[in-house]
Every structure is written in structure tokens, then in C-alpha cells.
Chains A and B, each alone.
Chain A
């Protein structure tokens, strides 16, 4: 469930399936649970679907739904326990402790949720549920259990956002319900066919997540352009983006808002590139003019208009200018904080104090408070952001930054610090 895998997911899933079947055949458990089902679930737990804006959901939750709906209750408890054990052992042998903990939390939560909901409903109706009703109940329990674990865990690999994960969960729930009903109606062979579209769905979500990654990287590269041209310190956009991302999480932004804010932060100096080269413009250029230029070229390049709009309002001419929205305040304060601190980690406290004192409007004050809270809870934030920016400086060994600048004095207006 992390991006650092030493074995491909399919290999892990196959390994879990073989291990599960072997355990059952050896009669390790007194009355062995359905070996095939346990193996299938274990394999499915190790294959996950990437959620479009971050996080993953294990595909095996579809099998959990079908298992709880089809097997007698005690058998399903035993089968799920075997599957979870096998899956956890396979992950523990190949990946980190963090990944093992994540799989136990997420999948265990789904299993408990499914069993609990079915158990409660059967107690209420005082009898066994038919397959369709049991499958729907189990699906509700799976989704509820997984999202509950994700909401309350502090464990990053286990976290996924409700709004982003819901489409994935719905797709897997529909597959689980259909498989359960199909096994009852037309047998295992045709029912297994109903699971095949899950692979297509997984591919579609993976492709989407891959496209999102590529877009984020392209924006990251675009943020470097003003720095390559000597119009901002090298590493500034990367450090500012790290602060913006941390602030967005602290303030509880959803993934798409976070992406918008971080993108605007990365690109907030982009308008300086054409301005610097235009001989008709005077040497003194204000941050507001740079922001307007940046918004203009983003719109002309047909980037999403909400990013251009955010860029336009987020960079006012003075630090105490009121911000029209909390997103704009995040962009402004994140970039200003790095303007003040740069790669001097020891100056972080002073930077927080300066930013807080300059914040006048409600949005800026709220963001400043969040910044204070962030540094109190995560003292390594500045160090990590500086390290992220340093990888670009390390590659710039041959670059004479003073020579790159056009010498038009843009740096005299903005609080830049030239580094050679």
C-alpha cells in the first residue's frame, strides 16, 4: 500500500493465494474454512486500486462482501481471519512494518464492519438474511469500516479521503454484490466472470492516478522556470509548495482544493518570466503585476481557470493586503514564509512570527494560526521543505545565477536573495 514495492502486487497476490490454499489443505485449522475463498480474499487484499487524488483501496473488499453474504457466519469469520493473517504475513515478509500495519487496519476494519452490520441486521429481523440483502448489508459495512479506520488513523499509509475513495468503493461494492448473487444464481464459474471488469476498473483508476502524477510533476517543473531564469531563488517554489501542502492538510482542505492551492503556489512567480524580457516594461515590477501576468499566461495556455483566478488574487502588492479567500491566504503566506526564511531552517520561528504579525484579515489570520500550529506539532517541517528544495540546488552546480539574471532589477522589488 505504499509506492515502494519490492515485488509486483500480482506476485504478492499469487503468493498469498498459494499460502492460503496450503494452510487450508494442511488442515491447520480444525474445521478448515473455504480454502479457495480465503486464498482469493488474501490475494485481493494485496491488490489495491489507486484513488484518483491519493490513497488506495484494496480490491479484496469486493471478495469480503461476497464472502460474508454467501458463507455461514462462523465460517465467514474463520475464512476472513485466515485471509487477513495470510495477507499480513506475506506483506510483512516483503514490505515494511508500516505497510503491514496499514493492511491489518484497513482490511480488518472492512471485515469487522461487514460482519457487524450483517450481524446487527440479522438480530433485528431475527433470522438469516437472503443473499442479496446480506450482500448489500455487507457492502455497507465494508465501506463504513474502511472509511472509519481511515478517518481516525494517524497512520499515513492507511489514510484515504471519503470523497475521493467513494467512487472506488461503490464500484467494488457493486462487484461484490453481483458476485454474491451470481454464485447463488448461476454458479461460481459465471460469477467469477463478473469480477473481470474490476481489472479494467483498476486499470482506469491507475491511469487516472498516473495522469495526475504526471500533471503534478509538470507543474513542479514549471515552477522551476522562474528560478532557472534567475528570477527567484532556486528551490523556492518547491519549499513554498511543501508549506502550502502542509497548511492545506492542517486546514482540512479536500484533495482537489489542496492540488489547486499547491499548483498556484508553485506557479506564483511564473508571470515574472515574460515581464523580465519585455523591454517596454519598467524595471520596478510589483508582486501584484507579476501575479496578473501569471494569471494571464495560465489562461492563455488553457490551464484550469480556477488556478489562474487563485494566482491573480493571492499575490497582492504588500504583505498586509486582505486576502479574498482562505485558499488565496494559503498561497500568499506559504510563499511569503519562504521568501523570509529560504533555506535557513533556524529562521523558521522568526518567519512564523513575522507572517503572523503581518496577517490582518480573517483568512490570513486563520492561516497564520495554522502555520503556528504546524510548526508546534511538526518541528521538522522547515528542515524537510529545505531538503526538498535542495535537490534542485545540488543539480545547479554549474549554474552562475548572477549571470543568468537579465540585470533589470526585478529582485530589488521582491524579497529575493540572490545565491551564486
Chain B
């Protein structure tokens, strides 16, 4: 399938370029080679946009130069074919050539040629000499480039990495304004390059270079932040080692539910972060109570709840933690206990999602007080408590997501298994709730 897309794109581009050459004039080879070479050089210093689960999509500086070439050539019969050939150079990414992945080289050369061709056609068709109509033509050119480029790249990347088209699109569309901004900048610089001379390259290169530097720095800061969150998780797990892996699993199940419920990418990320932090209150809970085998006395249970709550309240003083504290707090954990609170509905839903994920993982993992239940029993427990303890939408979403992925959890399918000094007892239906931890005096 991937190979078919590559060949089809390459052939289409060849046909379109040949047609443009036949209809118009021969390409202006000086522009094609000089601009094309600079485009190719700049492509090999692109900024890789890192996204979880994707190999990467890139925003490339060669695009600006391609748009500039449209303005340099102006409204002539050779513009469309020349610009298409300039754009094709964007596909010559050296690492792909070194890896002998010629299929992707053909695909990129083809789709960039077609995108550039579309931009040139729109601009030369609608441009006039100056005024707002020229602005509209320039805008139309940038939009045309974006539409063709996205139409080819999104399905190809989805096919290549086994992702859904919607997921790839969700990652790409925040970058769409860049097409407009940098495309228009490239066109304006092209229009005044006679007045600017060599400075034209500086005025293009400096903002792009700074943009690239800012993005790399942003990526480093984001990586440091992710590392800090990971450190938080490690410290929580250091406090309660028998739940190692629990935080990540709760985050995974929460993301499953977020996708099933149709939440935006930003919301799903917030749910994920909140899920990673949901046990943060444990840090203030005495270790001897947290890991006590068997049931807690009512007094001990009160200490656990009080310290958990205080730990969350302390951390909620920090802006970043404040919205996540909602999910960590017991106040919103129960579905039938959340009505009438002043908390925004979005955050209440997050708390419900995490409560279901937390409960599911608790049931399908062996703990100090009970062996893991089977997935079927865990699902039965969730369904029987939907509407009271658990949000029924969240319950349905989790079960659908796991069934759709054909995954199995629980007894016989545990990933992180611990050896307890006192082997925990086996249990069945009805043993899932934390209320069971309180000893009956």
C-alpha cells in the first residue's frame, strides 16, 4: 500500500510537470538550479516535530524559498513548471538517500512538486500588481500549497506508522498557521529581493533560524518537564514499590477512555498528566500504613485519607498541579458524589476517567491485600458500580477500548508481578472496593 502511494505520487507529479511544461514555456533553469540547491540545503537542516507514537513530521524552511521563487519569477508562462521543479528539490533529504529509501524520496519529491505547482497556479492566476488582490492571491497560494501537501502527507504518514489518519491530522493541524505565515513571508521577500539584494537571504534565514532555535529549546524544556514528571512517578513508586507500573497503566487506560470519549488531543494529554500524578498524595502517607499487609483499622484508614488529602492540598498551591489535584482528590472520585460541586465539568470528567482507570488497575493487579482478579470479573465490577461509584460513560469507554484492542489484563495476564512476604489471598467478585480494606471490628 505504501509503495503504491509512493509510485502514484511520483507518476502524478511527472505528468503534471510535463503538462505544465507543454502548456507554458520551458523552465527557467537558473532559478530552478539556484533556488533548488538552496532549498535542498535547507531541507537537510529541518526541525523535526516530535510526537508520541509518530516517526515525525517536519516543518521545513525550503517552503519559504519555494514561495519566494514564485514571486521572483512573477506571472510568466514558465513560472508553474519552474516552481514545481524548485519544490521537487525539497524531497531530496539526504538521510533517506543514504538509507536507500528511494520510495520516500520519490514520494516527497512528487508531493512537494505538486504542492508548489498548486501554489504557483493560484498565484499567477489571481495576482495583480499590488493592492489587496495581490494579498489575496498570495494567501490563496499558501493555502493551496498547504491543502495539497497535507492531502498527501497525512495518509502517507498514517499508513507508514500504522496510525489512524485522525491521529496524524490532530498532530499536524496546529502547524497549519505556519504554512500561511512563512509562505507569505517568502512571497514578500521574493517580491522585494531586487531592493534587498543579499539581505533577502538574511531576512529569511534569521527568523527561520531563530524559530528553529526556539523550537529546539522548547523541545529540550518539554523533555526536561517530562523527565521531571517521570521522576515524580519514580518517587511515588519508591514510597509504594508494590504498585510499580500502576501509574503508567492508569495513564494508559485513561488515554484509552479519552480517545473513546472523543476528547481533544490537548485534553487527552491533560488527562494523561493528571493520571500520572493521581497518587501524589501517597507521598505524605506513612509508609508503614501504605504497605501494611491485610486490612487497615478505621483509625489507620482515617490517617491515610487525612495525609493523602493534605499532600494534595500542599501540591495544589503550585499552578501546574492545581488542575491535576482535582483528579487526585477523593472529592470527585465517586460519580454520585460529584454533583453540585463548583469544579468545571471538564475536570470532573477527568476525575471520573482516572477513578475508573485506577479501579480497573487495582482489580487486575495483585496487591498486598488481594490477588489480581480476572479481566471479566473486573469488567463485571465496573458495570455493577456504574452510575454510583463510577461514571457509566467512562466504564463503557474503557471496556470498548480494551475489547477493540483485543488486550487482556488481570489474573494470568499481569505484567508487573511482585513477591509479597505474606502471600495475598485470592478473592472474587465484590472484593474490589477500597472500603473492604477497613477491618470489621
Using CB atoms and an 8 Å cutoff, list the residues of chain A in contact with chain B.
Answer: 52, 131-132, 167, 170-171, 174-175, 177-178, 181-182, 184-187, 189-194, 196-197, 199-201, 204-205, 207-208, 211-215, 217-222, 224-225, 228-229, 234, 270, 273-274, 277, 297-298, 300-304, 391-392, 395-400, 403-404, 406
Complex CA gap A270/B239 in Å reads: 13
Asked whether B306 is an interface residue with its Cβ less than 8 Å from the other chain, the reply is: yes
Residues on the A chain within 8 Å of B177, using CB: 200
Residue contact A193 to B207, C-beta cutoff 8 Å? no
Sample of 17 more A-B contacts, CB < 8 Å, known A193-B185, A208-B214, A218-B232: A171-B206, A178-B192, A181-B195, A190-B138, A196-B180, A197-B185, A200-B178, A208-B218, A211-B221, A217-B319, A224-B315, A229-B283, A273-B239, A297-B235, A298-B231, A399-B307, A400-B307
The number of A-B residue pairs with CB atoms under 8 Å apart is 207
Residues on the A chain within 8 Å of B194, using CB: 185
Complex CA gap A222/B313 in Å reads: 15
Residue contact B286 to A170, C-beta cutoff 8 Å? no
Residue contact A167 to B210, C-beta cutoff 8 Å? yes
Asked whether B110 is an interface residue with its Cβ less than 8 Å from the other chain, the reply is: no
Residue contact B210 to A171, C-beta cutoff 8 Å? yes
Tell me whether A193 and B188 are in contact in the complex, defined as CB-CB below 8 angstroms, given that A175-B207, A221-B321, A273-B239 are known contacts.
yes
Nearest B-chain residue to A275, judged by Cβ: B238
Q: How far is the CB of B321 from chain A (nearest CB, A)?
A: 5
Binds A, one of B128-136, B363-371, B381-389: B128-136
Residue contact A167 to B239, C-beta cutoff 8 Å? no
Complex CA gap A403/B284 in Å reads: 10
Q: How far is the CB of B26 from chain A (nearest CB, A)?
A: 28
Q: Which 4 residue pairs are nearest across A and B when measured between Cβ atoms? A: A217-B320, A301-B231, A399-B310, A197-B181
Residues on the A chain within 8 Å of B225, using CB: 211, 214-215, 218
Complex CA gap A177/B182 in Å reads: 16
Residue contact B231 to A187, C-beta cutoff 8 Å? no
Residue contact A297 to B234, C-beta cutoff 8 Å? yes
Q: How far is the CB of A17 from chain B (nearest CB, A)?
A: 19
Residue contact A170 to B206, C-beta cutoff 8 Å? yes
Complex CA gap A391/B228 in Å reads: 22
| 8 CB-based A-B contacts, threshold 8 Å | A177-B203, A182-B192, A189-B130, A194-B185, A197-B182, A222-B235, A229-B284, A301-B231
Complex CA gap A184/B194 in Å reads: 12
Nearest A-chain residue to B220, judged by Cβ: A304
Complex CA gap A379/B224 in Å reads: 35
Q: How far is the CB of B425 from chain A (nearest CB, A)?
A: 25
Asked whether B341 is an interface residue with its Cβ less than 8 Å from the other chain, the reply is: no
Nearest A-chain residue to B306, judged by Cβ: A398
Task: Produce 1/0 per residue, B283-294, CB < 8 A to A.
Answer: 111111000000
Complex CA gap A217/B218 in Å reads: 16
Asked whether B161 is an interface residue with its Cβ less than 8 Å from the other chain, the reply is: no
Asked whether B227 is an interface residue with its Cβ less than 8 Å from the other chain, the reply is: yes
Asked whether B170 is an interface residue with its Cβ less than 8 Å from the other chain, the reply is: no
Tell me whether A403 and B303 are in contact in the complex, defined as CB-CB below 8 angstroms, given that A208-B214, A277-B238 are known contacts.
yes
Residues on the A chain within 8 Å of B187, using CB: 193
Q: Which positions 298-322 of chain B face chain A at CB distance < 8 Å?
A: 303, 306-307, 309-311, 313-321
Residue contact A273 to B228, C-beta cutoff 8 Å? no
Residue contact A190 to B307, C-beta cutoff 8 Å? no
Complex CA gap A403/B302 in Å reads: 13
Residues on the B chain within 8 Å of A392, using CB: 314, 317
Complex CA gap A213/B321 in Å reads: 12
Residue contact B311 to A228, C-beta cutoff 8 Å? yes
Residues on the B chain within 8 Å of A207, using CB: 218
Nearest B-chain residue to A211, judged by Cβ: B221
Complex CA gap A201/B200 in Å reads: 19
Residue contact B135 to A182, C-beta cutoff 8 Å? no
Residue contact A189 to B132, C-beta cutoff 8 Å? yes
Complex CA gap A38/B318 in Å reads: 41
- Across the interface, A178 reaches (CB within 8 A) one of B189, B303, B311, namely B189
Complex CA gap A228/B188 in Å reads: 57
